[in-house]
Every structure is written in structure tokens, then in C-alpha cells.
Structure 1
């Protein structure tokens, strides 16, 4: 019998668990079967790896040597498998885009399709920024178009390269007959909305916590927050059931008025991410330029455009893979 990677996984599992019983549970094996496997491995390696005792197992000097090598080899092989899968999945002549809710993904698709007719563009959407970033990290997607709150780190910061597309203040959505909308105010203080119910879309970033903290700074705690899809958020605002939070790129919508919050207590950063070792990385600069143009176009169509025309969105330094 030759030594295989699965044998090293067994040795590592026994050492990590500290007993054959616990290791068998982790590996999904019966304990007698694991004991037999371990004896075969020890015969191949020429010596005892573990000393069995009433309180578990103790690693021998030979076992320490094998574990030291296993802890180098197993992660390296795992990384090789990930890189191979990523390479095999990549399409050098197409774009696989992932994104969360918002108008920028559609705008990016439109621009890529217009500038490179005939080149396939596929999309994947999720409420989860982490899920979209994970798709890029493991090679299922080429680019991730997501957003984060304020200066928060993007998902997968150690594996993906990130560049800022744009940075916008968060707006509030009001029914067109809401008193603050009828007052034709150019901006609204968050404290003026203390008595309102709120609605927002879900996500797994820190935006909910940032919003709650901004409300506390304004002197109140939101009494009610309806977390639901975009269409339902808009409906709740239109009928006056709640006020909503939206990005500055939110398109003009019948029955809804958007206004910036005074002092910009919440900021949304649009980010584009990719894996620096993927073939798609060579196209990142072009895709980033298209994403920024798509943001400018979305902003021009939005209800909040006049308030942001005083200057371009500030762009921060890039996030890069470690």
C-alpha cells in the first residue's frame, strides 16, 4: 500500500481529536475500521504514530514528523485543487458577473454587451455579499459587484482584490404625500424620522448595525424595521406604512420621494472584486471603468441626482488580496 492524502487526513484527524473514538465520529467511520486503517498507515510508515491510552492517544516522535509534513501538504493540495477548479471554470471570452440588489449590475451587463457584442455575459444575484464574493474566490464567477457600509472591509479581503466603483450617501425614501416630502426639503435630519416605521432590504453585511448606531446617535431607536425585497420596500413606502433607506442611485419611482439625510450619517460604497490570480484579472480595469460609467448613468436617472451633482463621488484606495 502506498501512502495517500486520505491517510494523512486520518493521521491529522486522530491528532486533532485526541482519541480514536472522537476521530472516528469526525471522519464518519466506525472505530474498528479507523483502528484498522491506522495500523495499515503505521505499517507503511514503518513505526507507531500514536500511543493509545485510557485518556486517548499521544503522538510519538514519528507521528510528530508525519503531522508536521501533513500540515504543510494538505493545505497546499487543497489550494492546488481550488486553483485548478478556478482555472477550469474560467471562460477567457466571457464575463460571469455576480451582484447584490441594485441598478448597477444591470447597467454593467448593458455596457459590456454593447461594447463587446457577441461575448457571453452571465449573471448571478444574491442578497449575500459573502456568497457572491465566495463565488469569485472559488472560480464560479469572474467579478463581484457588491456594496459595503462606510469603511467596512469587503468580504474575502485576503483572497480577492477590490476597487471602489463609487461612494454615495444613503438616502431616505418617503411617500410623496409625507409631510417632510410636501415641505420640499432638500435634506432631512435623521432625528425627524424617530417616530417612523422603517423598511430595508436584507443583507449579511454590517449595514443594519450601522443604521441602528446612526439612530442611537440621533437620539432614538427604530420602533419597527421591515426587512423585505425591494418591490415590497417600495410598496410599503408608497402606501405610507414605512419610510425606507435607499442608495443615491435609486431610480425615480411613482409615489416615492427620496431625500439625502443631513450630515450623511450613512454611506454606501460600491465595490468591484476579482481574484488576482484568475485570468479575468487582466480585464479588471476595463470592467471597473464600465462599472463606474454604469454608476454615473444610474445616478443620472435617479431621483437623488440633483443633490449629488456638486462633485464626483470620492474613491478610496483599493482593497487588495494579502
Structure 2
């Protein structure tokens, strides 16, 4: 096996975390997988890089030498990548192309439409990923110009040290139930009303599932099983009464589904726009941020959030099948 940059990042993450358990969490890996990867790296480098103790792990002499080199190589490669991207895209005529990305539910289409209208000579391409961590890392490495990601509550987006994040929106999370569900007749739904119910959610490496569990625990209840699937299947499971769901204010509604505010607004969802402060994208970030906020506002006007009076309020949302658009 040849040594790769990702191996150096793994070594640095273990050293920074001080334990394999914490490093595995930061890297989004299971600890056994990280341990196996570390063993392969150590075989490649010819010896142990860390010693394990009661308080965690400590670098060996070989590990310290490798870490010293990694702390030089990784920033240099990152800077090279950002400079190369900037050189390739910035010329006398300005931006040649613009690469945007978003996690599920981000108002990426509206942002693309606005930027294409503002700069008709610029080629705009997009990417979507379930992983906020992947998008943030790609922006930090200079392979994307901007990313739209979401977090729940007071959580912050990944890579905050290498990516500049600005808030696009902050909306209450709403509950979805089948149109014929007894809760559909209420003006709002309490988390305790959903105790024990199965719920559907799209996949991702963010904190939303943890936030739901924590909010339910605080309310004195517990969610049931989780169905993790794509957005269309989530809506289907809600429609047929197999699960309840949660949605954002930009959800456009769906036939056979009723959307209701959660009493007390115990959950919120924040959208963020991120870019590399060292990249060429930083020059146009204020304009892109303004357009992202406009795109979200439009998506909310056409979504179920238009019937919700304010963050923290308790308005009535009509069944989507009756024309909540």
C-alpha cells in the first residue's frame, strides 16, 4: 500500500483527538474500521505510530516524525489546490465557471437560477450529497466554490476552521402526518403526541436524529424506530400511516400529507452557505449569500412555511391535499 494524503489526515486526526474513539467520531468512521486502517498505515511506514494508554493514545518517536512532516505537507497541498483552482478560473474576463453544492433540501435550484441570471456568461455546475462533512471538506480543499448545508438547533457546520460559514435561514421544524391521522385535525402537535411512533428521515451525517432524540427525551418521551430513506419514500411512509415525519418550512407539501407546527418549536433547522476564505470565491461571497437568502425566502413562500406565522408561533397549516402551496 502506498502512503496517501488521506492517511496523513487520519494520523493527524488521531493525534489531535488523543484517542481512537474520538478520532473515529470526528472522521465519521466506526472505531474498528479506524483501528484497522491505522494498522495498515503502520505496516506501510514500518512501525507503530501511537502507544495506547488509559488516558488515550500518544505518538511514538516514529509517529512524531510523521506528524511533523504531515503538518507541513497537508497545508501545502491544500494551498496548492486552492491556488490552482483560483488560477484556472480567474482571468481577465472574471469567473469562467462556478461550482455549487448542497445537501438535501437546500434551495440549490433557486440559487443556481439567480446566479445564472446575474452572470449569463458564467457556467454554473452543481453537486448534491447526503453528507455535510463531505461537502465541507470539498469546499475546504478548493474543489467546490460554495456549499449549502443544514444543521439543527445551535449546532455549527463541519470544518468551521477552514470554511467560512454564514447563516442563510433559521426555520422551525414541522411535523408531517397522514391526512387521515387523528393529529391532522389539530392546530399543532406536541412531541409527546408522537411518542413511540416510527419516523422517517433522509440519510445524512448531521445531528438531526440526535436532536430529535434529545428533544423527545426532554419532553419525556421517546421516538420509535427510524426509517432512513430518500425524501420521496419518506413522504410515502407518512402518507400511508407507517411513520410520522419532520419537514422544513420550504417543504412544498404533498397530497395525502398534513403538516402541523410542533408545539413550542422544540426543533429548528438552520441553512448555511460556506466557502473557503483563502479561495477566489471569497470575492463574490456577499453576492452569493444574498442570492441564497432570496432563494430560501422564495422556497418558503411556496412551501408549507408560508402558513406558519413565525418561528416559535403556533399557526394552523392546512392539509397539503387541500392546497397548502
Whether these two folds match at TM > 0.5 is: yes
> What does residue range 235-250 of structure 1 map to in structure 2 within 5 Å?
235-250=236-251
Could you say which residue in structure 2 is the equivalent of 1:26? 42
Contact 2:100 2:145 in 1 (8 A): yes
Matched, 1:96 2:99: yes
Matched, 1:214 2:215: yes
Structure 1 runs (4+) deviating above 6 angstroms are 22-25
Aligned partner (choices 82, 87, 96) of residue 83 of structure 2: 87
Q: What SS does the aligned partner of 2:173 have?
A: strand
Could you say which residue in structure 2 is the equivalent of 1:112? 115
Structure 2 Cα separation of the partners of residues 131 and 71 of structure 1: 23
Structure 1 Cα separation of the partners of residues 109 and 174 of structure 2: 21
Structure 2 Cα separation of the partners of residues 74 and 132 of structure 1: 23
Normalising by structure 2, report the TM-score.
Answer: 0.72
Q: What SS does the aligned partner of 2:155 have?
A: coil
Structure 2 Cα separation of the partners of residues 302 and 282 of structure 1: 32
Could you say which residue in structure 1 is the equivalent of 2:287? 286
Q: What SS does the aligned partner of 2:126 have?
A: strand
Could you say which residue in structure 2 is the equivalent of 1:126? 129
Q: What SS does the aligned partner of 1:28 have?
A: helix
Cα displacement string for residues 155-200 of structure 1 (whole angstroms, at most 9, x for unaligned residues):
001111110001001111111222221x2x3321111111422111
Shift in Å at residue 299 of structure 1?
0.2
Q: Using CA pairs below 8 Å that are at least 6 residues apart, which structure has the higher relative contact order? A: 1
Could you say which residue in structure 2 is the equivalent of 1:75? 71
Contact 1:260 1:304 in 2 (8 A): no
Contact 2:106 2:150 in 1 (8 A): no
> What does residue range 37-52 of structure 1 map to in structure 2 within 5 Å?
none
The answer to which of 236-245 and 281-290 deviates more is 236-245
Ranges in structure 2 where 5+ consecutive residues have no aligned partner: 1-7, 9-14, 16-37, 48-59, 313-325
Residues 28 and 262 from structure 1, CA distance in 2 versus in 1: closer, same or farther, beyond 3 angstroms?
same
Q: What SS does the aligned partner of 1:241 have?
A: coil
Residues 73 and 103 from structure 1, CA distance in 2 versus in 1: closer, same or farther, beyond 3 angstroms?
closer
Shift in Å at residue 217 of structure 1?
1.7
Q: What SS does the aligned partner of 1:234 have?
A: helix
The structure number with the bigger radius of gyration is: 1
Contact 1:103 1:250 in 2 (8 A): no
> What does residue range 134-283 of structure 1 map to in structure 2 within 5 Å?
134-181=137-184, 183=185, 185-283=186-284
Residues 73 and 245 from structure 1, CA distance in 2 versus in 1: closer, same or farther, beyond 3 angstroms?
same
Residues 136 and 177 from structure 1, CA distance in 2 versus in 1: closer, same or farther, beyond 3 angstroms?
same
Contact 2:110 2:295 in 1 (8 A): yes
Cα displacement string for residues 218-237 of structure 1 (whole angstroms, at most 9, x for unaligned residues):
22211211111101101111
Normalising by structure 1, report the TM-score.
Answer: 0.73
